[in-house]
């Protein structure tokens, strides 16, 4: 997970390299709730540009049936590709984009997305924590969360964790050396360690980070590092990991004998959101799409189709009970509401990387 500052720097260079920012490069937003009124006619087309995941066919069919508006979808493989497409003439072409948190923050800061006319999207009131706000767009002024991924734990049924918590995860590494795995990602491992100690995942406090470093020093010899050279002092074992720090998306269909859980202290959320880019040609239809998305039946159908978690908790009652039991798709509400979208500063990331490099050297 890159820092916001790093992302903005790279995005700015990319956009500068295109020679323009498109028509949305002005320093003022082009419309607000006062511009769109309820008696404006609904346009007949809406064009969506999505990166990092597809737009559910169920949501498209429901929207077209309810409104008669034709939906056109284009995809960009990455957020940076999406930004480049916008910069190369996309402003004035697309009505909605789907982006990750860092891209959303960049677009909000540079005023490349329109404010939402909240009177046209009353479904926003259905959102509950942690999805009723965004660290990259305070108060959901410009975005509507679409779906999310999260950092949690994949555990074998034979893992004797005792409880579904980060504290138990790291204690297991002490009790079963070599049978607990973590990725070679400083932000995720140190974030989980911080939370296991009662600190925020994205804390910049030197005291909190010192606590995390001390705890990792205590358990590190029992951890198996995935994706890097193993430290010489790590125990050598061919036995499968009993528990592993993972992203939920990889465990929508967990292997036999394995389950995913979101620890009780909460985890890190990676939210992708819909936003309306500057100079959207069909702004009323774009708002209609957002309101339609915030219908429990639409999110439930989309959840079943893509097997990805969605923000509306009300959708859970409408899906297959077997699907609802999978925490990679429906994590416990208490653990979910303890989770955050972490925003790690440049200084915080540097400190994390220093701790991780010292451990893995």
CA distance 245 to 260: 10
Question: Apex CA 269: angle with CA 244 and CA 181, to 5°?
Answer: 10
- Phi/psi at 100 (nearest 5 deg)? -85, 175
Task: Provide the 10 A C-beta neighbour count for residue 315.
Answer: 23
Q: How many CA atoms lie within 13 A of 126 on its CB side?
A: 20
Return d(Cα 10, Cα 17) in angstroms, integer: 11
What is the DSSP pairing of strand 223-226 with strand 180-183?
parallel
Euclidean distance between CA atoms 163 and 261, whole angstroms: 11
Q: Which residues of 85-97 are buried (b: 16+ CB within 10 A; e: fewer)?
A: bbbeebbebbbbb
User: Cβ(146)–Cβ(273) under 8 Å?
Assistant: yes
- Widest CA span in the chain: 69
Task: Note down pLDDT in tens along the chain; length 361 residues.
Answer: 444 444 444 444 444 443 334 333 333 344 444 445 556 789 999 999 999 878 999 999 999 999 999 999 999 989 999 999 999 989 999 999 999 999 999 999 999 999 999 999 999 999 999 999 999 998 899 999 999 999 999 999 999 999 999 999 999 999 999 999 999 999 999 999 999 999 999 999 999 999 999 999 999 999 999 985 444 444 555 688 999 999 999 998 889 999 999 999 999 999 999 999 999 999 999 999 999 999 999 999 999 999 999 999 999 999 999 999 999 999 999 999 999 999 999 999 999 999 999 999 8
Q: Which of 247, 248, 263, 246 is nearest to 195 (CA)?
A: 263
Cross-strand pairs, 144: 274
CA dihedral over 24, 46, 270, 119, signed as positive or negative: positive
Could you give the residue ranges of the DSSP H alpha helices within 41-165?
Answer: 57-67, 79-85, 101-109
Among positive and negative, which fits the CA dihedral 145, 77, 347, 224?
A: positive
> What backbone torsions phi and psi does residue 285 show, to the nearest 5 degrees?
-65, -35
How far apart CA 209 and CA 197 sit, in angstroms, is 10
List the domains of the chain with CATH numbers: 4-142+276-294 (3.40.190.10), 149-268+341-360 (3.40.190.10)
pTM equals 0.87
């Amino acid at each position: 997970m890159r820092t916001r500052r790093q992302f903005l720097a790279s995005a700015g260079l990319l956009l500068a390299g295109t020679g323009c920012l498109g028509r949305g490069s002005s320093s003022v937003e082009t419309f607000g709730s006062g511009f769109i009124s309820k008696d404006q006619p609904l346009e007949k087309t809406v064009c969506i540009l999505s990166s990092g995941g597809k737009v559910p066919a169920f949501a498209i069919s429901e929207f077209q049936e309810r409104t008669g508006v034709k939906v056109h979808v284009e995809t960009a493989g990455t957020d940076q590709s999406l930004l480049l497409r916008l910069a190369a003439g996309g402003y004035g072409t697309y009505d909605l984009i789907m982006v990750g948190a860092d891209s959303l923050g960049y677009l909000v800061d540079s005023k490349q997305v329109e404010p939402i006319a909240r009177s046209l999207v009353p479904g926003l009131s259905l959102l509950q924590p942690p999805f009723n706000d965004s660290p990259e767009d305070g108060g959901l002024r410009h975005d509507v969360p679409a779906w999310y991924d999260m950092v949690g734990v994949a555990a074998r049924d034979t893992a004797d964790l005792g409880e579904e918590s980060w504290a138990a995860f790291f204690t297991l590494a002490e009790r079963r050396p070599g049978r607990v795995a973590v990725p070679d990602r400083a932000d995720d491992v140190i974030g989980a360690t911080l939370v296991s100690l009662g600190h925020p995942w994205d804390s910049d406090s030197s005291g909190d980070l010192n606590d995390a470093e001390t705890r990792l020093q205590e358990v590190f010899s029992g951890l198996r590092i995935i994706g890097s050279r193993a430290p010489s002092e790590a125990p050598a074992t061919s036995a499968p990991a009993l528990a592993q720090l993972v992203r939920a998306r990889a465990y929508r269909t967990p292997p036999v004998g394995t389950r995913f859980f979101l620890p009780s202290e909460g985890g890190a959320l990676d939210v992708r959101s819909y936003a309306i880019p500057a100079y959207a040609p069909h702004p009323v239809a774009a708002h209609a799409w957002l309101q339609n998305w915030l219908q429990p039946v639409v999110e439930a159908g989309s959840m079943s189709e893509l097997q990805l978690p969605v923000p509306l908790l009300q959708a859970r009652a409408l899906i297959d009970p077997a699907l609802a039991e999978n925490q990679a798709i429906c994590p416990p509400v208490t653990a979910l509401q303890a989770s955050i979208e972490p925003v790690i500063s440049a200084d915080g990331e540097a400190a994390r990387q220093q701790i991780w490099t010292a451990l893995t050297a």
